[in-house]
Amino acid sequence: MERGAQDGSRMNADVRLSVEQVSYAYSPNPSQAPIFTLEATSFQVKPGEIVGVLGPNASGKSTVLRLIAGALQPLSGRILLNGAETHLMEPRARAQKIAMVQQESQLLFPAKVWEFVLQGRHPHGKSLRFETDDDVMIATNALRQVGADHLTDRWMGEISGGEKQRVILARALAQQPVLLLLDEPTLHLDIGAQVDFLHTLKKLTAVNRYAVVIVTHELNLAGEYADQVALMQKGKCLRVGTPASVYQRDLLEQVFQTRLTVEQRVNGRPKVSVLESSE
């Protein structure tokens, strides 16, 4: 896929996404105290880099992702994508730059795989539009890149969970984004499909120079595939850095409330094993 416009930023290894001291508070009723707060969080993502946002349930991982996606407005701080605040962008312009892969796509009516992937072309045109030959070419290319071109004419409802995640990724690629956001993309996949998916993602990130933010609680997969991780707990971002530097036994035990061991493997990547409960 052509990424001509972004070559400049690759040369000087510019920061593409900058999360600067971002905080957020959620309360179902404005008069009440917030039931969830996110404290000032900062990290940066360069083109071609994968950042994993890690933490237990309700730690604020998905909130961080939704803030980056521009779906929420930060209480304070800024989120800049190539210098522009994401929540201030027009929805269409934003979707040309940011693509989101969510946990599951619920379909109200059956759709073919190719129809689904073509949806990724929606931001690149007028509101009422019919797909052009270019759109078809880009969608075909996206399916090939994720290794799902053989699924083109299948129904979304009849493919496996792993295949479905690939197709959802293909739709995100068809948006030709500069920033790729993934919310628990491997949640319902078996371990083989998880590794396959992340391997594909890693390869495409290197080739297309996406900036990638991936939310997950799979410590070992993040440790293996992420260039940086941000560890979250109860709305606080505790530490940001390489997996090897963040994966400290004491820290992880405290955050995940379980006993575990961390060993450094020969490739410099950490490996976490959960020990039997101390109770």
Partner 1 sequence: MQPLTLSKVAVRCGILALILFVVVVVALKFGAVPVSLYGLAKDLIGVLIGRSSNISSEYGMIIREIRLPRIALGIFVGASLSVAGTSFQAVLRNPLADPYVLGVSFGAAVGSLLALIIEPHLALRPEVAAVFTPLGGFIGATLTIAAVYLLGRYHGDIDSKTLLLSGVIVGSFFSAMILLLITMLPSSSTRGVVYWLMGDLSTPMPPILGWVLRTGFFAGFALIYLTASDLNLLLAGEKEAMHLGVDVKKVQLVVYLAASALTGLAVSVSGSIGYVGLIVPHLMRMIFGTDYRMLLPASAFGGAIAVVIADTMARTVAAPSELAVGAVTAIAGAPLFIYLLRRRLA
Residue whose tokens read 């599951």: 104
Taking CB under 8 A as the criterion, the residue among 18, 37, 119, 200 binding partner 1 is 119
Distances (CA, A) of 3 to 50, 135, 208: 18, 16, 7
* Interaction mask 31-70, partner 1, x per CB under 8 A: --------------------------------------x-
> Judged by CB, which is closer to partner 1: 42, or 96?
96
Q: Comparing C-alpha atoms, which of 47, 48, 52 is closest to residue 222?
A: 52
Residue 40 Cβ, how far from partner 1 at the closest point, in Å? 25
Q: Which residues within the stretch 87-116 sit at the binding site for partner 1 (CB under 8 A)? A: 90-96, 98-100, 102, 105-111, 114-115
DSSP structural state of residue 185: T
> Judged by CB, which is closer to partner 1: 104, or 263?
104
> Judged by CB, which is closer to partner 1: 113, or 237?
113
* DSSP assignments along 102-159, one per residue: -S----SS--BHHHHHHGGGTTSS-SS----HHHHHHHHHHHHHTT-GGGTTSBGGGS
Burial of 91 (0-12, 13-18, 19+ CB in 10 A): exposed
Residue 167 Cβ, how far from partner 1 at the closest point, in Å? 13
Question: Distance (Å, rounded) from C-alpha 73 to C-alpha 77?
Answer: 10
Residue 121 Cβ, how far from partner 1 at the closest point, in Å? 9
The site for partner 1 (CB under 8 A) is made up of 69, 71, 90-96, 98-100, 102, 105-111, 114-115, 118-120, 122-123, 127-131, 135-136, 139-140, 152, 175
